[in-house]
Amino acid sequence: MNSKLPITSAILTHRFERRSFVMGALQGGVGVLLATRLGYLAVAQNEKYQAESESNRVNLTLIPPRRGWVIDRFGKALAANRADFRVDLIPDRVEDADETMKTLAELLALPPDRVRDIRDRLDKARGFQPVEVASSLDWDKFAAVSVRLPELPGVIPQRGYSRFYPTGAAVGHLVGYVGAASAEDYEKERNPLLITPGFKIGKDGLEKQFEVRLRGVPGARRVEATASGRIVRDLGTREDVPGKPIQLTINAGLQDYAARRVGLESGSVVVMDCDTGDVLAMVSMPSFDPNSFSDGIGRIEWKMLSEDDHVPLRNKVLRGLYPPGSTVKPMVAMSFLEAGLDPHATVNCSGGLRVGNRVFHCWQRRGHGTVDMAKGIYQSCDVYFYHFAQQLGMDVIAKMARRLGLGQEFPMPYPGQSYGTVPDPAWKMRKYKKEWALYDTVNATIGQGYMLVNPLQQAVMASRIASGREVMPQLLLNRNAPPPKSMGFRQDHLDYIHAAMSEVVNGRGTAGRARIPVDNVLMAGKTGTAQVVGLNIANGKSGAWKYRDHGHFICFAPFDKPKYACAVAIEHGGGSGAAYPIARDVMTYLFAPDKAVAVLDEFEKQWGGNVQQRMANSYNSFAARFGGSAPKPVPDDEDLTERVEAGRKPDLAPTDAQTDAAAPRAEPDPPFISVPSPPSPPLNPPLSQGGGQ
Amino acid sequence: MPQAYVPAAISRQPWSVLLPLIALVAFGAAVLYSAAGGRFGIWSATHLMRFAVFLVMAMVLARVPQTLFRRMAIPVYVALCLLLVLVELIGGIGGGSQRWLNLGFMTLQPSELMKPGIVLVLAWFYSVLPVGEVQGWRSVAPAAILLGIPAGLVMLQPDLGTGLAITFGAIVVMFLAGLPLKWFLSAGAAALIVAPLAFFTLLHDYQRKRVLVFLDPESDPLGSGYHITQSKIAIGSGGFFGKGFGNGSQSHLNYLPESHTDFVFATMAEEWGMLGGLFVLLVFGLIFRWGLKVANNAPDRFSRLLAAGMTMTIFFYMCINLMMVMGLAPVVGIPLPWMSHGGSSMMTNMICVGTIMAVERWSRAGPRGLS
């Protein structure tokens, strides 16, 4: 500046005065800046910050809505809710997972396998996706956790409602189950309700299909909370709106009875009202307990279910495909009648029939002698059907099979049903590029070869034959539904078939012990035994379980005024002898529940308890064997669905064209074939039931 | 205040600073009372008590003659430097950074005392520097050493905020001492170039993060940005008239961190609104105006530099704190004078005020006696 001039004290004082003025100006400038900023924040942006302050202050806690009930046709609960105490973990808020789990395991007395399951889920869970620790707690345990909350960050104890299935495994496949929403569910919906502890969404079956209807609207609790989450005061609560119930056509008692009656077998039972098509029971056993699935699937439970060769995770009613065996014979006979065949036309059965250069055997190698249509049905004579099927052709039979429901899709509220196959020449050409051969017709008439059906289709077939109406299976109750229209069959044709089917049970037929022990109610039915492997591997009656024949039975009652129709399919039961006693008892339940229950109680003593007890025993033995160290980790959500789906792949579909004759399997109870005599009512079931002949 | 027409015992008191100070401290106590959830004993009582104690200390300081100030400048400075080294050593032994000495009855932060200390020693230095040397290197090299030692020690602790405050106080004194303007301009230019380099090399990770978060608070809403965000919410939601005394949800529900210390202004603004904020700015303005007026009326170079330096030290506190709570500066942990709850800052600021009051006394005495 003034470097040339000598600096004097006066110059410095003057400089100080100027520069201190600059300082003052700086202070003033900063003051104005600060005041401006203050105005900008407090006045210009006041609304924004006020909103943010409010969202800080007020904490909105969603209250999961009570889920709509699933009730049966009489209003009895198949899926309900019960109030309970529960404890969840919010992974993001947990500070020391090991320490927290140790404390919780102590307070709640959790077994080691459960602790490991929770740890696995905790590691996998994302952010704020709650992980269930325990539900249905008693007050003492709940209180024990609640008082120690300050040292357990991320632990949320609360009271709420949890899903409850009163009949457990009996409705596993029918109703499905619920579970905590997965990360994928949340990504799809972006609904904060999904990550509210205690909220469950439908994971399978009707619970999944009717999620929107069942869910309801969540309630909310507004509280003033501190930054650390401590609640200062309640600002108000909005009640939840419970989900709407759905009423099924199911008869809960019958459903439970049928599930229990299947016993140790692997099979399915479908009961329908043949006037309306209402499905009264739809059972696939063994099954899983939706109650314990809804808490999350534990490692031991998963191991137990996935290693079971009776595939408890497959809904066999809709996804099990079986060759129907001789149960198609009333249908085939109906096609003959409609095609103009005289029912009194006979054929001589000498135990086999030459077709082309092959001999097709009747199951009765000794032969049935002279056989007309009725005898062809009640004695299940294969030669009768071989003979006339060749005359009338496959197209006639295939058309009738489809009319009666085989190979048909029904609009049931379940994804991924299997529809099976009704083969005909055009189908074979499409699928295998091969000409239809006579032996294909012959195989098809006895329900073997390419023919595959599911148990629901068999029940529909039985219903349509019984009522002569075009019934469709109904699962959702609609009391005002118009009655199904007639199939257009001639009444005398129906009567003829009904009489022959009644003879199967009440006369000289193959299922004499299927008579139901109720006065004035006669049941009509048809047995079926379907081979699983050729005779060169196994005889179908004994030996390795998976090589045994499937047993089928279709029936309706009362035979002269059909009301109920039923189809039973027992996998590897060793023949129809495994199926019809079950059908008999299930149908008995509809007319005389006491008698049916008495029979079942006897059985359950031999089987080692009812379904729940047997599952609990099996679980305990697995738990004892593998403990907390069950080697197979529980699959996560998507994986589980995949695994269950894999278990449901339609089985048995032949990949190669079949060229061989199917060997018809022995149908009946031997004592009743050779010596046709008035059957004695089989009130006391034989002890060897279900194990083949 | 027209001192001449009021009884001498009363008019002798420096009312033009005492009244604003009392207003500010009382207001601060009220805000602390509310921040404590309506309890007086937690923060307000100690706040008022400290003020009383340090006010007495300031009054005593005001009676110290200039000669003693001059004589004590170097010994005080050396003692403080030794304390800083001591703190550094204790921290090194204890493993980790320590900034205070435990004296039993209170904890002493030597770096706090260094803020007025550096002003004192530089004011003394420039008062003894021959007038002709002001334009030469002899005017800046010793000052740079006097500044470099304590500033370096404080930055080592590491305490960036205090280090900057000390540096700021020193530069203000050098500026007012009349050093050539072009030096400051070129130093400023150099700082602009060095600052980015220092940012990436000298700063600790957490300090760098604070700066980055300051530039974009939303990038870390739950970490370091949380302070700034919550502070802005508190100030912004207060509006012009505030939510009312005792109704600040941000501070009462603990969303605002440090609501009684560094962010006490946000606590105040939430309840008293922009009106309260303007009041605080106005009161500070009165104090600074008084301080600079005292400096301009001071009888000699030493007292001029001393008073102005002390004023600017207080100003730096206020300026950085208010800019921080309003999101204009990174979070550096500097409290707001006379409002934040805390002993060290109260002591420092009262030392500054006491020193300015002393200068005011010397200038009143000056015309009467010999200089």
CB contact under 8 A, A41 and B328: no
Each residue of A393-422: pLDDT tens digit?
Answer: 899 999 999 999 999 989 888 887 888 889
> Which residues have CB under 8 Å from A71's CB, separation 6+?
A77, A78, A245, A246, A247, A248
For residue A559, what pLDDT is reported? 87
d(CA B109, CA B91): 13
Can you spell out the DSSP letters for A530-589? E-SS-TTT--SSSSSGGGSPEEEEEEEESTTS--EEEEEEEET-SSGGGTHHHHHHHHHH
CB contact under 8 A, A16 and B328: no
For residue A204, what pLDDT is reported? 85
Each residue of A248-296: pLDDT tens digit?
Answer: 999 999 999 999 999 888 999 999 999 999 999 999 988 888 888 877 7
Contact B274, B330 (CB under 8 A): no
Identify all chain B residues contacting A4, using CB atoms and an 8 Å cutoff.
Answer: none
Q: Give the gap in angstroms from C-alpha B202 to the nearest C-alpha of chain A.
A: 28
CB contact under 8 A, B232 and A57: no
CB contact under 8 A, B237 and A7: no
Contact A599, A522 (CB under 8 A): no
Secondary structure of A346-388 as H, E, C letters: CEEECCEEEECCEEEECCCCCCCEEECHHHHHHCCCHHHHHHH
Of these ranges, A120-124, A525-529, A625-629, the one predicted with the greatest mean pLDDT is A525-529
The sign of the CA dihedral A533, A538, A542, A544 is negative
Reported residue count of chain A is: 693
Taking CA–CA distances from A7, the nearest residue in chain B reads: B132
Is the pTM higher than 0.90? no
For residue A214, what pLDDT is reported? 92
A75: left (phi over 0), alpha (psi -120 to 50) or beta: left
Q: Which of A53, A58, A224 to mutate to test the interface with B (most CBs of B within 10 A)?
A: A53
Contact A154, A94 (CB under 8 A): yes
Q: Give the gap in angstroms from C-alpha B254 to the nearest C-alpha of chain A.
A: 5
Which whole-number Å values give the CA distances from A261 to A18, A284, A581, A603, in the listed order? 106, 11, 9, 8
% of chain A with per-residue pLDDT over 90: 31
Each residue of A160-179: pLDDT tens digit?
Answer: 888 899 988 889 889 988 88
Q: Give the gap in angstroms from C-alpha B227 to the nearest C-alpha of chain A.
A: 13
Q: pLDDT band for B224, please (50, 70, 90 cuts).
A: low
Q: Is the residue at B313 inside a domain? A: yes
User: Of the candidates B172, B239, B326, which has its C-beta nearest A43's C-beta?
Assistant: B239
For residue A35, what pLDDT is reported? 94
> Which residues have CB under 8 Å from A10's CB, separation 6+?
none
Each residue of A295-326: pLDDT tens digit?
Answer: 777 777 878 887 888 888 888 888 888 999 99
CB contact under 8 A, B172 and A17: no
Q: pLDDT band for A678, please (50, 70, 90 cuts).
A: very low
Of A98 and A249, more confident: A249
Tally the domains of chain B.
Answer: 1
Contact A553, A580 (CB under 8 A): yes
User: Of the candidates B175, B234, B281, which has its C-beta nearest A34's C-beta?
Assistant: B281
For residue A557, what pLDDT is reported? 86
Average pLDDT over residues A552-563: 91
Average pLDDT over residues B168-176: 92
Identify all chain A residues contacting B244, using CB atoms and an 8 Å cutoff.
Answer: none
Among A287-296, A595-604, B90-99, the range scoring the smallest mean pLDDT is: B90-99
Of these ranges, A1-15, A327-341, B131-145, the one predicted with the greatest mean pLDDT is A327-341
Q: Is the residue at B31 inside a domain? A: no
Each residue of B276-307: pLDDT tens digit?
Answer: 999 999 999 999 999 999 999 988 899 999 99
User: Of the candidates A39, A46, A227, which has its C-beta nearest B255's C-beta?
Assistant: A227
Residue A692 in this model has a pLDDT that exceeds 50:
no
Identify all chain B residues contacting A46, using CB atoms and an 8 Å cutoff.
Answer: 236-240
Extract the tokens encoding A617: 């025993």
Extract the tokens encoding A189: 């919906």
Contact A328, A462 (CB under 8 A): no
Identify all chain B residues contacting A45, using CB atoms and an 8 Å cutoff.
Answer: 236
Can you spell out the DSSP letters for A426-477? HHHHHHHS----HHHHHHHHTT-TT-BB-HHHHHHHHHHHHH-B----B-B-
Cβ contacts below 8 Å, chain A against chain B, sum to: 141
Q: Give the gap in angstroms from C-alpha B278 to the nearest C-alpha of chain A.
A: 7
Residue A156 in this model has a pLDDT that exceeds 70:
yes
Among A32-36, A146-150, B220-224, the range scoring the smallest mean pLDDT is: B220-224
Q: At what angle do helices B301-325 and B264-297 cross, to 10 degrees?
A: 160
Q: pLDDT band for A691, please (50, 70, 90 cuts).
A: very low
Q: pLDDT band for A636, please (50, 70, 90 cuts).
A: low
Identify all chain A residues contacting B319, using CB atoms and an 8 Å cutoff.
Answer: 30, 34
Identify all chain B residues contacting A30, using CB atoms and an 8 Å cutoff.
Answer: 315, 319
Residue A648 in this model has a pLDDT that exceeds 60:
no
Among A205-219, A638-652, B124-138, the range scoring the smallest mean pLDDT is: A638-652
Q: pLDDT band for A688, please (50, 70, 90 cuts).
A: very low
For residue A674, what pLDDT is reported? 33
Q: At what angle do helices A329-338 and A491-506 cross, to 10 degrees?
A: 150
Torsion of CA B93, B96, B99, B101, to 10 degrees: -40
Residue A114 in this model has a pLDDT that exceeds 50:
yes
Among the listed residues A549, A552, A551, A576, the one whose alpha carbon sits nearest the alpha carbon of residue A566: A552
For residue B305, what pLDDT is reported? 93
Extract the tokens encoding A485: 């229209």
CATH code reported for the domain at A252-673: 3.40.710.10
Could you tell me the residue ranges of all domains in chain A?
59-247, 252-673
- Class in CATH terms, A59-247: alpha beta
Identify all chain A residues contacting B299, using CB atoms and an 8 Å cutoff.
Answer: none
Please enumerate residues of A whose Cβ is less than 8 A from a Cβ of B: 1, 3, 6-9, 11-13, 15-17, 19-20, 23-24, 27-28, 30-31, 33-35, 37-39, 41-43, 45-46, 48-50, 52-53, 56-57, 224-228, 232
Identify all chain B residues contacting A11, using CB atoms and an 8 Å cutoff.
Answer: 178
Q: Is the residue at B65 inside a domain? A: no
